[in-house]
Structure 1
Amino acid sequence: MSLFNLKIKGLKIFILLLPVLGLFACKKDFLDNQAELSIPESRVFETPARILAQVNGLYSSAKIGSLFGGRYQIYNDIRSGEFRNRTSNVVTGFGVYQFTNDPSDTYIEGFWINGYLTINRVNKFLADFELAKNQGIVSDQLKSQYIAEAKFVRAYCYYALVQMFAKPYTQDAGASRGLPLRLKAQTDSADNNLKSGTVAQVYAQILKDLNEAEVALPASYSTSVLNTTRAHKNTVAAFKSRVYLAMGKFPDVITEANKIVSATAPFRAATGVNHTLNADVTKVYGNGAAELENVFSAPMSATNAPGTQNQLGYYYNAGNIEYFLNQGATGIYNNPAWPASDLRKSKFVLQYSAAWHILVKYSNVSPFTDWVPLIRYSEVLLNLAEAEAEAGSLTRAEELVKAVRQRSDPSYTMPAFTTKAIAIQNILLERRIELLGEGFNAPDIQRRLQPFVSVGAGASIPYTDSRYVFPIPTSEKLTNKIVE
């Protein structure tokens, strides 16, 4: 097995690249495959199956509950004012909810650690795969594809980290302090000290990885499961539309989204995986459902659940109800733009008690096996709509938003997009509804430099406030003496 030590944040961590969870194998029974557990590191590239296992391990690392299997979405949503806390539980983000988390918060530190852990796994894979003695085990095309998948995973991690731990790119075109850009494998503590790059430098690396990945990735895979759980060309285009939106580079959003969105309704990807909206929004969530809408998902199973107190259903649904919907004036729940006729309200919101309305998108109970949506086609349509409103056609922007809205509520009459201001207002409202509970509200607030209207803090938090983004963890500063 590929086993190495990484000393980071004062901890010696043993990193296993082989996917003992077996989440992304190629066969039908991929959720139950058993990994080889006694392979020397020198032999992990000896067979095609072992090489694939290394790639699968990168996805498995990214999808754990403390990273993209739950915590990323939760932290971004509970800051945004759409939810109210029920339990005052520090383990489940109460400090984040109140904007009182500080550099010593071990749960935020866990997100940082696992983000960089996954990045280092990518770096180690890239270095070892390039130097593997057994050349010719897989074709050059497949080797390029595996490298591309690794770079996609690294870019996905860096985007999340820079969004959560650094000021928005749109504040100063990325001139502010970003993150340490670790692009070489760490196998000991020798290279712990590394200054943070700027936000712009981090985004430049994200786009470099994505552009290189897009060239080498396949247009599609052999099964719908693989099309949803591994990166392909359309996955990269969809994700780049998100990255460019975060940077406020609207023409680039249009360029990337147009790769997978037709010029007119009904909107659909013309090449590769034929992504489109699922006609029935209630079929979008669950276990591997709606593969044409779910561009990229983190699969879960009974033996590979997100883990204790990380699961989205545990937080929002009847698993534990850590957070229920904010029914006050600032929450989306009672906004007139979200009437009861909308299926996303009548089917995804449940009145649990007289005081509590809860989000039930994630309907599975323990062990919470709902697949976690990471990129959906509806997001891409809304990314494109916003970019069109800012730098393109208001008419097309309106049609894109209508496609998303009327899928769930055909009777709703949306205001005509006669001005950019009206268009942007309605697009942002639609994002709050469509992407509720999926980790988008905080990034949307941040890239627009809007204040957090915090229920937990009982205050408005402007982008100039130090609480606007998470501080770099204390433990990172203890082992990285020159990080800012």
Structure 2
Amino acid sequence: MKNINIKVHKHYLLKMAFLALPFTFAACDTDELLNPVPETSISDKNAFDTPERILGQVNGLYDALKSGQFYGGRLLIYNEIRGEEYINRLTNGVTGLQTWQQNVQSGTNEVQNLWGAAYASINRINVFLKGLEDNKAKVDPALYTQYQAEAKFLRALCYHSLVTLYAKPFNADNGASPGLPLRLQAETSTANNNLARSTVAEVYAQILQDLDDAEAGLPLNHATDLLNTTRAHRNTAIALKTRVYLHMGNYGKVIEEAQKIVSGTTTFTAPTGVAHALQADVAVPFVNYTTTESIFSMPMSDLDVPGTQNQLGFYFNAAPTGGGEYYLNTAGIVNDPAWPDTDARKTNFIVTEGGNMYLKKFNKPSPYTDYVPVIRYAEVLLNYAEAAARTNDLPKAIALLSAVRQRSDASYIFPAEAIATQEALINTILKERRIELLGEGFRSMDITRTLQTFPEKTGGGLSAPAVAPSSSDYVWPMPSTEIATNKDL
């Protein structure tokens, strides 16, 4: 069995190295055909010899994150179905049944595939950073700085996505627990596969270093709305920092970062860079994907889709538009009195089919080309609101919370008991996150960062147990492929 695992892992490593290699654009000459460059070698001549090819490498970094096993869909899906908002309908092991049932193991496909896709992206970023540095004279200095910053933003996003799933929450012990192998150098062979796990705190420190560097090097904006949504700019890095600091429980820093891109008292906007703001209609960001509310998204098209059984619409929407894999749990937020039927998020995004309620936030038919939302301005406002509440600035927290709620339900007034005390207000904000961000990959992360128990859930003849923070199932295990060959774990 060990030999089989090693064989599988070697295949994964070679695949990861291959994915990390820069694209080539010119046809090979006769000498190259007779003497090909090994798959695990880098040819700077091919990949970085012109500004156009270097830009191609940058675009390739974003494309790598769009793997269906990562930000193309499954990362968000797994973070949703681990929580209590969904019931599994089809008992299909390929589409996350074990994740829903809270019984994944080191050898479970989703544990191994997501890890592999994320580290393939990370290594591709590291290879790019080295190649860019080695060829910096071939690109305009301003673009060199920008491209480096974009790569570091993406690396930070990758590592935060991994550390929140495969390691204990920072708040459990101030980051002292084992985190991830922190791979920061370009690898074109398996020679350096052995690498010990850094602590959670060390991983977060690297994430923040990358984001600080990204903020300093990214442009204020890009030339088009599409690029402002699909490529990182300065506000993108700042927005992600509000999420990272929230996970660390560093609420003062959440506020400090949020204030850079949130101004106003009742209507909030970003004062510099891209003019981020909530759309008046909550449905618009899920139809027009490039509004100022969408800070960062993964674009999809008919020629560039996440792949079979990876798409958000396939999992969450009702058939025939989707696959109807998961329907909404009647014991979850969808039936909570705090989410009345007058709310536009319910009238726009909830549909009943066959007696079950489904989320139609992602409403494109097959091949499900909805953009994948990674950061929306609504999340930033709720991050800021929670941090303000936890630092006892209740008026500011209520104003931010109300902006999100009343965008979808202008007549709604929070009951006095829901906002009168710090504890009540925090709980109300956490509930608002469940409503506003439903289906966008936040539920599992919000449960773990606040050290809550994953609730028990039942439906469709299936059940999943409650999982307490002390349980070994609270976070995902290291993949067996990594354990089999990384001798320093």
AA matched with 1:229: T
Which position in structure 1 is the counterpart of 2:122? 119
SS in 2 for 1:347: helix
Task: Say if 1:8 and 1:479, in contact at 8 Å, map to a contact too.
Answer: no
Are the equivalent residues in 1 in contact too, given 2:107–2:480 (CA < 8 A)? Answer: yes
Cα displacement (A) at 1:43: 2.5
Choose from 25, 30, 33 the match for 1:36.
25
Residue correspondence of structure 1 range 319-338 to structure 2 within 5 A = 319-328=322-331, 331-338=332-339
Q: Which residue of 1 aligns with 2:308?
A: 308
1:195 aligns with 2:196: yes
Number of the residue aligned with 1:268? 269
Distance 1:19 1:293, change over 3 A: farther
C-alpha deviation, 1:295, in angstroms = 0.2
Check 1:405–1:250 CA distance in 2 against 1; reply closer, same or farther (3 A cut): same
SS at match of 1:84: strand
Worse overlay, 110-119 or 123-132? 123-132
Does residue 390 of structure 2 align to residue 390 of structure 1?
yes
Counterpart in 2 of 1:412?
A: 412
Between 160-169 and 64-73, the greater mean CA deviation after superposition: 64-73
Offset, 1:17: 5.4
Q: In the superposition, relative to structure 1, how do residues 232 and 8 fare at CA in structure 2: closer, same or farther (>3 Å)?
A: farther
Q: 2:248 matched to which residue of 1?
A: 247
Q: Deviations over 1:345-364 (max 9, x none)?
A: 1110001122x100000000
Matching of residue 101 in structure 1 with residue 101 in structure 2: no
Aligned counterpart, 2:471: 465
Q: Is the 8 A contact 1:287 1:369 kept in 2?
A: no
Superposed structure 1 runs of 4+ greater than 6 Å apart: none
**Inter-CA distance 309–19: structure 2 relative to 1 (3 Å threshold):** farther
Matched, 1:164 2:170: no
Aligned equivalents of 2:414, 2:117: Cα separation in 1: 42
Query: When the two structures are superposed, what TM-score results if normalisation uses the length of structure 2?
Result: 0.91
Measured after TM superposition, the shift of residue 392 of structure 1 is 4.4
Q: Superposed, which structure 2 residues align to 1:277-288 within 5 Å?
A: 277-286=278-287, 288=289
Residue 265 of structure 1: how far off its partner (Å): 2.0
The question of whether the paired residues in 2 share the 8 Å contact of 1:287 and 1:300 is answered with: no
Cα displacement string for residues 156-205 of structure 1 (whole angstroms, at most 9, x for unaligned residues): 00000000000000000000010000001111111011000000000000
State the alpha-carbon separation in 2 of the partners of residues 436 and 38 from structure 1: 46
Paired amino acid for 1:478 = A
Q: List alignment gaps of at least 5 residues for structure 2.
A: 1-6, 29-42
Q: Structure 1 regions of 5+ residues with no counterpart?
A: 1-6, 21-34
How far off is 1:284 after superposition? 1.3
Q: Secondary structure at the match of 1:276?
A: coil
**Greater Cα shift, 8-17 or 417-426:** 8-17
Alpha-carbon shift at residue 308 of structure 1 (Å): 0.5
Measured against aligned partners, the alpha-carbon deviations of 1:368-393 in whole angstroms (never above 9, x if no partner) come to 11101100000000000000000141
Shift of 1:454: 3.2
Identity of aligned pairs, percent? 50
SS in structure 2 opposite 1:337? Answer: coil
1:371 equivalent in structure 2: 371
Q: CA RMSD in A?
A: 1.6
Q: 1:24 is matched with which residue?
A: none
Query: How far 1:418 moved relative to its partner?
Result: 2.1
Q: Residue 81 of structure 2 is aligned with which of 78, 81, 101?
A: 78
Q: Is contact 1:287–1:370 with CA below 8 Å preserved after alignment?
A: no
Which amino acid in structure 1 is aligned with residue 92 of structure 2? Answer: N
Q: Distance in 1 between matches of 2:27 and 2:150?
A: 25
More helix by share: 2
Q: Secondary structure at the match of 2:180?
A: strand
Structure 1 position 93, deviation (Å): 0.4
Return the match for 2:432 from 430, 433, 438: 430
Provide the rounded CA distance (Å) in 2 between the counterparts of 1:179 and 1:140: 33
Report the CA distance between 1:412 and its aligned residue: 1.3
1:393-449 Cα deviation digits (max 9, x unpaired): 100100101000010011211134221011111101100000000000110110100
Cα drift, residue 325 of structure 1: 0.1
SS at match of 1:461: coil
- Note closer, same or farther for the CA distance 1:45–1:181 as it changes in structure 2 (3 Å cut): same
Taking the aligned partners of 1:121 and 1:454, their CA distance within structure 2 comes to 39
For 2:294, the aligned partner's letter is: N
CA distance in 2, matches of 1:155, 1:360: 30
Alpha carbons 1:18, 1:56 under 8 Å: kept: no
